[in-house]
Every structure is written in C-alpha cells, then in structure tokens.
Amino acid sequence: MQNHFPLWKNLLVLLVFGIGIIYALPNLYGDDPSVQVSSTLAAAVGQEQANRVESEIKNAGVAVKAFEFKDGRILARFNNTDDQLKVADLLRDTMGSNYTVALNLAPTTPGWLRALGANAMYLGLDLRGGVHFLLEVDMDAAVRQAEDRYTDDVRLALRNAKMRYQSVTKDSGFIKVTLKSAEDKPALLALLDKDFRTLDITEPEAQDQVWLKMSEKEVREIKKFAVAQNMTTLRNRVNELGVAEPVIQQQGENRIVVQLPGVQDTTRAKEILGTTATLEYRLVDVEHDVQQAVAGHVPVGSRLYYEKNGNPILLDRRVIVTGDQIVDASSGVDQDGRPSVNISLNGVGAAKMGKLTQANVGKPMAVVFIEYKVNTKLINGQKVRHKEKVEKVINVATIQGVFSKRFQTTGLDSPQEARNLALLLRAGALAAPVDIVEERTVGPSLGQDNIDKGMLSFVVGFALVVLFMAVYYKLFGMIANFALAFNVVIVVAILSMLQATLTLPGIAGIILTVGMSVDANVLIFERIKEELRNGNTPQSAIFIGYDKAFATILDSHFTNLVVAVVLFAYGTGSVKGFAVTLIIGILSSMFTAITGTRMVINWVYGNRRVEKLSI
C-alpha cells in the first residue's frame, strides 16, 4: 500500500518521541539557589562538618529549603538569592581555608528522572548572570622563560663537561656562549649537537663564540603550549573556586575567554585567575660575599635576590624544585602558629629534594616566591598597563634532616596569603603571565530578564506559526504543528542529554529550527495540493507529494547544515553555541517534518478510500 508504515517504523517514531519527552522534562522544574561546601583536602567533608554548617545556618536565622549531605559534599538549598549570598559570606568566614564555599544552582528534578540520567540544560552567562573575563597571554614572556631555561641548561652542560667558558649570556633572542679558548670550540659544537639539537647554531666572526637561537617552529610551539597550559591551569583554578558550568575557551592566538556563571565576587575571581604565582627552592650561597654581589660582582653560579625585609641574599643559580613539580598544597600553621603551606612533590621533585637535602644537611635553603603583577600607570594622560615580575625570598631555613616528598613552607604574611598560594600551587602555575583586558558582569536579574524575553519571543513565534498552519492547511496544518512541537522536544532533549549550555543565541537557534521545520512541511503540502490539481487521487497525491518534495527538502537542509558546521568549526563562544543548536535542529527537523508527519497522516488517511483531503 502507498501510504502505510511498517510496524517497526511506527514504533521507532513513538520511541524517539517518548525518549525526547523524558529527557526534555527536567528543564520544566527549574533550580534552587544553593550553597555548596566541599573540602580542599584529600579527605572529604565529614558528618561533623555537615552538622556544623547546618548549625551555623540555623543560628543565622536563614530559612533553608533543603539540606543535603552526600558523597562528602554539603548542599544547602534556599528560597531566594538573598539568603544564598548571606549564607555563602557567613560560611566563608567561619569554615576556614580547608573548605571551598561556592554559589550554585541546584536542579529540582525528581529522583526518578535523575535515576534515568535526565538532567536540565545548563544556563549560560547571559541567562544566569555571572562574570566574563577576556585574558591575554603574554607570549613574549613565554618565549623569554624558554630562553632562560636554555641559558641555564647550556651553562650546566658546560660545567658537567668541564669545559672552560667566559660567559653564557642572553642577548636579542640569542644565547651567546663565549669560551676562554677558541681551541675548545670543536668540543663545544659537538656538545651542542648532542644535547641541544633543537637550537639553531650560528658561528660569528669571533672564533671563541657560538650563538644559539630557538627555531621559528619551536617558538610557535612554545606559544601554542603556553595558551594550552594556561587554559588547563585556569580550568583547575576555576574548579578550586567551585564554580559550576564554567566556560573556558581560546579566542584567537593569544586570548582566553573565561565565563563564570553565578559568580558575583569579581575581585576574588580576578585575584585567582590573573595571578601567576609559584615557588622555587634554592640553596643559599654561603661561600661568596653578598656585598660584592650588590656592588655588581655577582658570582657566575649564583643569583642575587632580596628578602621581604629588603636584605640582599645570594642563592645558587640551580633550582632544586619548582612549582610545576608540586602535586598538592594546603594551608595551615606551623608549630609557632605562623601561616604555612604544606607541600607534596611528585616523584621527580621528591627524588631531587631527597638527594639534595641528604647531601646538604646543616646548610641553609631558601624559598623564592615568584609572582607577575600588572600595574596601571598614567603616562601622558593615558592608562598604560605595565607587567612586573616580582621575586622575593620568603623563607630561609637550615636543612635539619633529610626530607623529600612532603614538607612545610613558612614565611607568609597572613593566613589569606597562605590560602591563596596553596590554591594556586594545587591548580598549577601559569605557563606565561596573563592580563585581564576585558571584564563584564551580568547580574542575576538581567539574566532572568533575558530568559523571560527569550521565552516570550519563542512563544510568540511558535504561536504565530501554529495559527498560520492551522488556518491555511487545516488538518494537515495541525499535523505539522504536532511535528513542530515534536521537533522542539527532541532539540531540547538532545541538548539536555549532551549537558549543553543554553545561551540567548541558543534560544535563537531553536526559534530558527521552528521556521525550518515548518518550511519543510510547506514544501510537502504545496506539492500534495499541486498533485490534487493535476487530477491525482488523494492517496497518490500524498505519496507523490512526500516522494517528490524529499529531494528539495534534503538539498535545503544540507546547505544549512554545511553553514552550521562552518560556524561551529570557526566560531567561538555564542556563535559556536548557536551552531550546535542549529545542527541539532536541522537533523531533528528532517526527521519530524518527513517521518513524523507522514506517520500521523498514514494513521488518518492510510488503508481506506479517501475522497477529499483537509488541506
């Protein structure tokens, strides 16, 4: 028969429709303003801490909608955002540095839906409110850091080879090695060819010199790695802040977009995101005169630093361990009650620290705190941002015994400084400094206003389309309206299953798919009417209408799909979100407008003699 679906095809459409309804349902339940408390230590939050939090909230006189303690995490739900913010500030003051207190929106989805893995879509910054940062990575600093590492490595290689040299300096992108005797040049070239093959070697006119430089390919790789590593580090830092559904993505070659939905404390967010802080552990040079170094005669194997009180100190140029070898850090206090940071090293760092402390018991070791700061100065009436690298010795202590994997660092000014440093060390050091070049804040009320306007535009557009189709195409139009609702349900369900973040452009994409879905049905229905005018029977008109319109619908949807894929591939941020919604909508539209409506029309007109169609 011409207009009849086999049983399996009917069941398939109904199954898709049923799954779509189940996974789209969570979006109707909304969220509760909540405060989440989790531990920054390896151990999870215990029942004692949960009772303490519940007691603190009760004593503050704030009404709690629900209090949950599960999987080592505390979640308190509230009736409004005012209570949420009040409790968050209270708990940050009372819980201490070992706990992260984060604002959150907890879904009110019923348990039976959550058991099926059905969750609501996340809301983007423009719908939920929060802060938006545009960070610029200092590529030149990343390259300079690589040159510094190479300079130190070359100097160390020359010492290990017992090769006499006059100087190893960095100048205009070159690492210039000056030997004490030109006769050692062949041995130097052999050493460089063996251990530094990635560097380009230049032989100047001076016979006792060799110049080294990183290749253009390596410089590009360093810059690319700096952005990738910074994105990973920023993601770790955001996780430490406890922000739900953050957006962290690259924009262009050297910029990173960070969006933190629900965050209103921009000062705290900037402090954590923009700070480049790490530690270095070095031995103190006790063999040379510090005053001579201050006068400009710094020994070859040493570097001049200054302590927090301004006193100069000579440290060994070789670094024992650095911040990137730290795997865990937590703030606390030492035996004298001073703020400290408890450090845990990885295997490589622990081995180096253990070997060095074993060989240098009784000798002093210093902790160098390194931070990049951005200062804004007025020059000729214009604000100019100036980057500054701050290095200071925060602690000098005598090595009393052998230690390797775990130890304690003191010398910090305040418990807050210890907490921030511990957080930054846990998250990892930035590969290159970042500068916040743009900052925007979206309030929760504006986000709700965006939701209301977006939903209003969707409802009005949907209603007008439904009205037009019902009036112009009668019963066929009502069937198309069913497919239209079916299409929206599937799009929302797929976005929810993917746990996508819905933004205003995403809502625009859904509205656009509504028009595209109707457009496909208009093509089919007009072709059916044309076949009826040509004298075909109603059953033949339906069959030919769907059959002949399919190629046109496929062509139009395919071209739209190509555009959507290009937008997704080359777009960023909201453009990419719009493209995702559009791609899903195009594919869903093909299914609902052709297969969905055909199934219902077959139910109504199939398997019987029909004299007239309601079209």
How far apart, in whole angstroms, are the C-alpha atoms of residue 309 and residue 306? 8
In a domain, 457, yes or no: yes
Give yes or no for a contact between 37 and 54, defined as CB atoms under 8 angstroms apart.
no
Please report which helix (H) or strand (E) contains residue 482, including its range.
helix 444-497
pLDDT given at position 250: 83
In a domain, 128, yes or no: no
Residue 31 sits at φ, ψ, to 5 deg, of: -135, 160
Same domain assignment for residues 476 and 390: no
Average pLDDT estimate for 540-568: 85
In a domain, 188, yes or no: yes
Q: Which amino acid is at 442?
A: V
Same domain assignment for residues 427 and 286: yes
CATH number reported for the structural domain that contains residue 414 in this entry: 3.30.1360.200
Average pLDDT estimate for 50-72: 84
In a domain, 614, yes or no: no
Q: Which is higher by pLDDT, 281 or 44?
A: 281
How far apart, in whole angstroms, are the C-alpha atoms of residue 244 and residue 133? 16
pLDDT at 43 over 60: no
Residues 420-446 pLDDT 10s: 667 666 656 677 778 778 887 776 666
Q: Tokens 């519940």 identify what position?
A: 54
How much is the mean pLDDT over the chain? 80
Q: Which two tokens stand for residue 587?
A: 């594919």
How far apart, in whole angstroms, are the C-alpha atoms of residue 428 and residue 138? 17
pTM, rounded to two decimals: 0.60
Q: How many secondary structure helices (H) and strands (E) does the chain include?
A: 17, 23
Residues in the chain: 615
Report how far apart, in Å, the C-alpha atoms of 185 and of each of 202, 205, 301, 342, 595 are: 12, 13, 22, 47, 78
Q: How confident is the model at residue 361 (pLDDT cuts 50, 70, 90)?
A: confident
Number of domains in the chain: 4
Same domain assignment for residues 390 and 431: yes
Q: Which of 184, 218, 252 is the last residue of a domain?
A: 218
pLDDT given at position 212: 86
Residues 235-291 pLDDT 10s: 777 765 656 567 788 888 888 888 887 666 666 677 667 665 667 888 888 888 888
Q: How confident is the model at residue 96 (pLDDT cuts 50, 70, 90)?
A: low
CATH number reported for the structural domain that contains residue 161 in this entry: 3.30.1240
pLDDT at 305 over 80: yes
Give yes or no for a contact between 569 and 554, defined as CB atoms under 8 angstroms apart.
no
How far apart, in whole angstroms, are the C-alpha atoms of residue 511 and residue 555? 21
Same domain assignment for residues 448 and 474: yes
| Domain range enclosing 559 | 7-26+443-605
Same domain assignment for residues 460 and 551: yes
Q: How confident is the model at residue 397 (pLDDT cuts 50, 70, 90)?
A: confident
pLDDT at 205 over 80: no
Same domain assignment for residues 213 and 73: no
Q: Which two tokens stand for residue 498?
A: 């993917």
pLDDT at 376 over 60: no
Report the share of the chain in percent with pLDDT over 70.
87
pLDDT given at position 444: 60
Same domain assignment for residues 426 and 458: no
Report the share of the chain in percent with pLDDT over 90.
1
In a domain, 347, yes or no: yes
Same domain assignment for residues 426 and 543: no
Q: How confident is the model at residue 417 (pLDDT cuts 50, 70, 90)?
A: low
pLDDT given at position 335: 76
Apex 444 CA angle, 233 and 245, nearest 5? 30
Mean pLDDT lowest among 23-37, 251-265, 282-296, 471-485: 251-265
Average pLDDT estimate for 28-52: 76
In a domain, 100, yes or no: yes
Average pLDDT estimate for 184-192: 83
